[in-house]
Amino acid sequence: MIEAHAIARGIRTSAQKAGLVCELIRGKGVNQALATLQFTRKTVARELAKVLRSAVANAQQAPGFGGDVERLFVVACYANQGTSMKRVRPAPMGRAFRVTKRTAHLTVRVAERPLKIARAAADGDDAAKAKPAKARKAPARAAAAGA
């Protein structure tokens, strides 16, 4: 199973806002994730789409890749907090307020779904696969009330 990842550092958004968009694509197929990001009305969605495309390109360059992009899916997508730029904003009466301009590190990991191979079932396998019925115990309260 091929895995690849891509990281974008110092993206000018907060990690909390980027995390909301990351939740939308986690676990989806690559094409479905790109379509979701294209129609998401968040600025960070464009940056996340770039990182996702980069991760797909990294997977295609990996040795042992099967060549089918349709089998790739998003294993992990998360946003970590980056450095915060501290700025000063003038306030009334000669004071100053501090403004923190946050950044985020976006990480996307993609992997190849394993091929589903159908197994031919033998005659005796069906009986072996069937689960035996479990016997249910009578509740303790019902047993005590009947006695």
The better pLDDT of the pair 132, 50 is held by: 50
**CB of 38 closer than 8 Å to CB of 49:** yes
- Which 3 state secondary structure label does DSSP give 23? helix
Rounded Cα–Cα distance for residues 114 and 135 (Å): 37
Q: Cβ distance 82 to 103 under 8 Å?
A: yes
Say what the pLDDT of residue 60 is. 93
Model confidence at 146: pLDDT above 70:
no
Is 94 part of any domain?
yes
* Distance (Å, whole) CA 69 – CA 12: 30
Q: Which two tokens stand for residue 100?
A: 């923190």
Alpha helices of the chain — where are they, by DSSP H? 15-25, 30-38, 44-61, 125-129, 140-146
pTM for the structure as a whole = 0.76
Q: What is the pLDDT of residues 87-144, one digit of tens each?
A: 999 999 999 999 999 999 999 999 998 877 877 766 655 555 566 667 666 667 655 6
Domain count, the chain: 1
100 in a structural domain: yes
Residue 141 placed within a domain: no
Question: Does residue 146 belong to any structural domain of this protein?
Answer: no
**CB distance 12 to 87 below 8 Å:** no
65 pLDDT band, cuts 50/70/90, is confident
Residue type, 124: G
φ and ψ at 30, to 5 degrees?
-65, -45
pLDDT reported for residue 96 = 97
Give residue 50's pLDDT.
Answer: 97
- Over residues 7-41, the pLDDT tens digits come to 999 999 999 999 999 999 999 999 999 999 999 99
144 lies in some domain = no
Identify which of 30, 1, 3, 33 has the alpha carbon closest to the alpha carbon of residue 115. Answer: 1
Rounded to whole angstroms, the Cα distance separating 45 from 93 reads 41
CATH at 57:
3.90.470.10
Q: Which domain holds residue 78?
A: 3-115
Q: What pLDDT does 113 receive?
A: 87
State residue 132's pLDDT score.
63
Evaluate whether residue 125 is within a structural domain. Answer: no
